[in-house]
Structure 1
Amino acid sequence: MTHPIRTAALALMAGLLAPAAMAQEVTLRFQHFVSPNSANPKYFIEPWAEKVEAESNGRIKVEIYPFMQLGGAAPEQYDLILDGVIDGGWVIPGYQGGRFPQAEALELPFMVTKSAEEASRAAWDYTQQHLADDFAEVHLIAAHMHGRGLIHKKGPAIETADDLQGLKLRGPSRPATLLLDKLGATPIGMPVPQFPESLSKGVVDGGVITWEMSPSLKLDELTDSHTDVAGDKSLYNLYFIWAMNKAKYESLPDDLRAIIAANSGAETSAWAGRAHDLGDADGKAAMIASGNQVATLSEEATAEIRAKGDEVITDWIAEMTARGLPAAQLVDDVRAAVEKASAGSGS
């Protein structure tokens, strides 16, 4: 026979626990491939996680793992998300050359502005226009660009296009390596985590990357000069997504899914870009403080390089058209998105 007091106590306990059980709690594990002190993690990824946690009243816990601590290599990140090995992460689609060809239009030479926030607004618009099917298997939180891409190298700064002849330079993506090749350099494609060791061992003479990544990669010690092009357009750029496993996203309770949705989209993409602008200011200041040479090419030298960039774009359009893509339209649509973003910023 059940004791009436014990029965009452169990009923009371069940009543107290019911709200807690209904208020489902979720832990999401996201990872990226760089230092937690670099710009995107510092100014976007970590604050984004904190915002999601706060808006869920702690029911969502977002764990962030830098340096690919949950396993895999940076080029595998998209598939790790797709396969549910991780709940979400930061992806550079260009690390898998040829898999997302329409995304390459954003990365072509002198295509987007040096403002990462503006470029990221354009990237989100272009993504919605042309890349939704490519990333339909994940929940896309943000699509963004980094800030200006520069040439960092051992020895003095670049002064003319001819100065690039024969240099072994790291490139992050196919469009970037196509440009370096046109300029007479020897491009070596590699993810960012490999760059410092390659510099220290003499595998490369330098490479193209942003200001913001320079301190965490110790480019103040491993290189001597940093050269930007003139004008408001970036020498090259890189396209990123911040994405979540779709099944995990769809398994969330409606109210928690709504919080993730509210922290996805155009403004979230702009925030991710703005993080790179903040980091660029930090990184440039650090390189100047180190005593390294910081230079900007003349208008004439920039025009030489831009002419080679135009050749890359022409070749890319021909290649992608042969693959059945509306390549000229893709380039036009990137330019239109960039113009719209620039006009919206008042610049």
Structure 2
Amino acid sequence: MRHAWMAAVLALTFAGLHAGPAAAQDKPIELRFSSWVGIGHGHHREVLVPWAKLIGEKSGGRLKVTIYPGGVLGKPADHWDLIKNGIADMGFGTHGYTPGRFPLTSVADLPLLYKSGKGGSQALWSIFDKHLKAEHADVKVLWIFVHPPGQIHMAKKPVHTPEDLAGLKLRAPTAVTVAIVKALGGTPVTLAAPETYNALERGVIDGTLFPWEAISGFKLAEVLRHHTVVNLYATSLFMTMNQKKYESLPPDLRKVIDDLSGAWGAEFTGAAWDKNEEEGMAAAKNAGATIYAVPAAERARWAAKLKPVEDEWITSMQSRGLPGREVLQDLREALQRYDR
């Protein structure tokens, strides 16, 4: 009888030892993703949600990306450090919200370079390893990208020529866009994207630089009346992961992350943002706003005003011992391949 009892105990113990890991494996590894845009923004709907779903599917349910939207884990400008320090496992942010931290990457913000978000993002990612990787060394970079070309959006006064901007206050999100607004005769005001609505509503600014998607994504059609299409600039953004969290994953799960990152991620994100441009333009039209497209023959006037921005950027990079001219040339060549 005693032998039978001992056999039963051993059998149960053996079963328990084997059941423990199996039960643990049933619980997915949660990856906390911090986002500073709300759930109505196109980046949330068209990029983050489907990407998180793909991570879950490709990992067989072993990874679960939980998105924390609306900046609940940190302000837009905090997101690089927020991910680096492990407050969140993953996140996205804007390079230019921390001026001086990514000097060569700011090449992406120079004026009159882009035709689309998809082609621009593919081109920028293609020069990442050669020129920009060193600036991103303290996190796991999933990919970087640019939004579609930014336009000029005004609350009261229409803008048809560079001279129309004289003395007007415009939101400019990065150091390069500050230089762009100054070159066009305006007064730049640096604000994070979510702060723009209130600034326009209170008259703190007269207008803003944004891609079309922001008009719907931040409900700006309610406070903007005139829009000027000139493909003025773009802004670079990053999708990153905490390095230690990435390294803690088993190799097969790291591969899942890798396969849904890099060039694939840049193209996927750029295409999604291009799609959202139509939504933003429709919101402006539905609000009864005017839309003025700068004629091709007039673009030379804008380019002449903005040429000093490019020259000053190259000089600034050279003064820091950085190959700004080479980086810009390589980006232009990449844009010829991807963003024609």
Same fold (TM over 0.5): yes
Q: Which residue of 2 aligns with 1:7?
A: 10
Aligned residues: 337
- Tell me if structure 2 keeps the 8 A contact 1:212–1:283: yes
1:45 matched residue in structure 2: 48
Are 1:161 and 1:301, in contact at CA under 8 Å, matched by a contact in 2? no
Structure 1 residue runs without a partner (length 5+): none
Aligned 8 A contact 1:158 1:297 in 2: no
Query: Could you tell me which residue of structure 2 aligns to residue 195 of structure 1?
Result: 196
Determine the structure 1 residue equivalent to 2:302.
305
Q: Which residue of 1 aligns with 2:87?
A: 85
**1:292 and 1:85 mapped to 2: Cα distance?**
41
Matched residue type, 1:178:
A
What is the letter of the counterpart of residue 248 of structure 1?
A: K
Cα distance in 2 between the residues matched to 1:84 and 1:186? 37
CA distance in 2, matches of 1:219, 1:26: 38
| Residue 99 of structure 1, CA deviation | 1.0
- Bigger drift between 297-306 and 161-170 goes to 297-306
Does residue 314 of structure 1 match 2:315?
no
Listed as ranges, the matches of 1:320-339 within 5 Å are 320-339=317-336
Question: What's the counterpart of residue 129 of structure 1?
Answer: 130
Over residues 71-101 of structure 1, what are the superposed CA-to-partner deviations in whole Å (9 max), with x where a residue is unaligned?
x211110011111111010111111111111
CA distance in 2, matches of 1:249, 1:115: 31
How far apart, CA to CA, are the structure 2 residues paired with 1:186 and 1:45? Answer: 34
- The root-mean-square deviation of aligned C-alpha atoms, in Å, is 1.6
Q: Which amino acid aligns with 1:173?
A: T
Note the 1:1-347 alignment, pairs <5 A. Answer: 3-21=6-24, 25-70=28-73, 72-111=74-113, 113-229=114-230, 234-342=231-339, 347=340
Q: Distance in 2 between matches of 1:330 and 1:61?
A: 37
Q: Give 1:300 deviation, angstroms.
A: 4.2
Task: Kindly indicate whether the alpha-carbon contact (under 8 Å) linking 1:38 and 1:279 is maintained by their aligned counterparts in 2.
Answer: no
Q: Which amino acid aligns with 1:17?
A: G
How far off is 1:114 after superposition?
A: 2.2
Letter of the structure 2 residue corresponding to residue 255 of structure 1 = D
SS at match of 1:213: helix
Deviation (angstroms), 1:24? 6.9
CA distance in 2, matches of 1:299, 1:246: 46
CA offsets per residue over residues 30-55 of structure 1, 9 Å max, x none?
Answer: 11111222122111111110000011
Identity of aligned residues (%): 33
Unaligned runs of 5+ in 2: none
